[in-house]
Amino acid sequence: MTNNHPALAIDPYYDGVPAYMTEVYDWAYVDPTWVRALDRNWVVRVLLFLNDQRLMRSYLNEIEPGMRVWQLAHVYGDLVTRAARKVGPSGVFHLTDVTPIQIEHGTRKLAGMEWTKVIRTDAAAFNHAEFVDYDLICSFFLLHEVPEEKKYEIVDHMLDKLPKGSKAVFVDYHNPARWQPIRYILKLVNHYLEPFADALWKNEIQHYARDASKFAWRKKTFFGGVYQCVVVEHKN
């Protein structure tokens, strides 16, 4: 019997992208038309309720010139450019992401910075042994966007790859105070658009670490508990 339906060409922007990304976050992180529209500083500012700069600084302030830094995912706006510039040519800045369009945007932003490298990989499986030992590994608003099992994989992978004397930085959502009106807006957003985010309202980030007791966890919250920055280091 002849098949009269021609084979569908694989869209390069969707090739190898995890199912949860295409099913839940296609509009935000995969579809190139939407990504080009959303990748702007003012969009980040609105989405973070004007807290974008203080949250970015909570990560950027941990970077010192000459550091070797791995950032787990591309972030909209100018954050990756600022982080790479702060690292500077005496250091190393590696950016990873799993989607082709995010790799495209990250590569464009880091063009001309020879100390940077953009690598397509799953954050929970990146083997950087061929590169360097990192002084700082950062997950910036990534954990709330991945399924529960992937949260465990990412956190453990980050900590497994963390040398003594280095630090991991997590910037993400948190459980807002009950008096914070944004709490109730985010409940609706999470219900309709961010199905994996509620877990960070219920669990501390260290909950996802297999050997959490081996590390020191330093947490700071922002904007009535809406956001958090957690810095992790090996215990002495």
132-172 tens-digit pLDDT: 789 999 999 999 999 999 999 999 999 999 999 999 999 99
Question: Which CATH number belongs to the domain containing residue 28 in this structure?
Answer: 3.40.50.150
Say which amino acid occupies 169: V
Is 9 within the bounds of a domain? no
For residue 8, is pLDDT > 50? Answer: no
For residue 116, is pLDDT > 60? Answer: yes
pLDDT at 2: 43
66-93 mean pLDDT: 97
Chain centroid to CA 114: 22
pLDDT > 90: percent of the chain: 92
Residue 26 DSSP one-character state: I
Residue tagged 């495209």 (tokens): 104
Looking at the 3D structure of the chain, how many domains does it have?
1
Express the helix, strand and coil content of the chain in percent, nearest 5 each: 40, 20, 45
**Residues 172 and 228: beta-carbon distance below 8 Å:** yes
pLDDT at 3: 42
Is 152 within the bounds of a domain? yes
58-86 mean pLDDT: 98
For residue 225, is pLDDT > 80? Answer: yes
What digits encode the pLDDT tens for the residues 170-209? 999 999 999 999 999 999 999 999 999 999 999 999 999 9
For residue 128, is pLDDT > 90? Answer: no
| pLDDT band of 11, cuts 50, 70, 90 | confident
Is 8 within the bounds of a domain? no
Is 56 within the bounds of a domain? yes
User: Which residues span the domain enclosing 109?
Assistant: 19-234
